[in-house]
Amino acid sequence: MADEDFLDEEFPLGDGTADMAAEVHCPYCGEVNEIGLDPGSGASQDYVEDCQVCCRPWRVLVTYGPDGAADVLVEPEELT
Ligand SMILES: [Zn+2]
């Protein structure tokens, strides 16, 4: 019942301190994309998003630090 409150204390997202967007360079075409981030999805995220310029898929790795700053990496979705 108190799970959500506990999570909020442990990882205070959604109060305006967590990054909601990031600029990344497409690993294929090199263009800068601004992508939206969802802090509510957790401190460590791994998903696929398409480049807004060349439409090729990236693997996006997002890691939130304790201060709410997002560390975002993109790499070609060519493995697996
Ligand atoms: Zn691209």
Domain coordinates of the chain in residue numbers?
3-76
CB atoms inside a 10 Å sphere around CB 70: 17
Q: Is 80 exceeded by the pLDDT of residue 16?
A: no
Separation of 48 CA from ligand 1 center, angstroms?
A: 13
How much is the average pLDDT of 24-51? 96
Selection from 33, 34, 1, 37 nearest residue 18 by Cα: 37
Name residue, tokens 């999570």: 7
- Full-model pTM: 0.76
Going from the Cα of 30 to the center of ligand 1, the distance in angstroms, rounded, reads 6
- pLDDT above 50 (res 65): yes
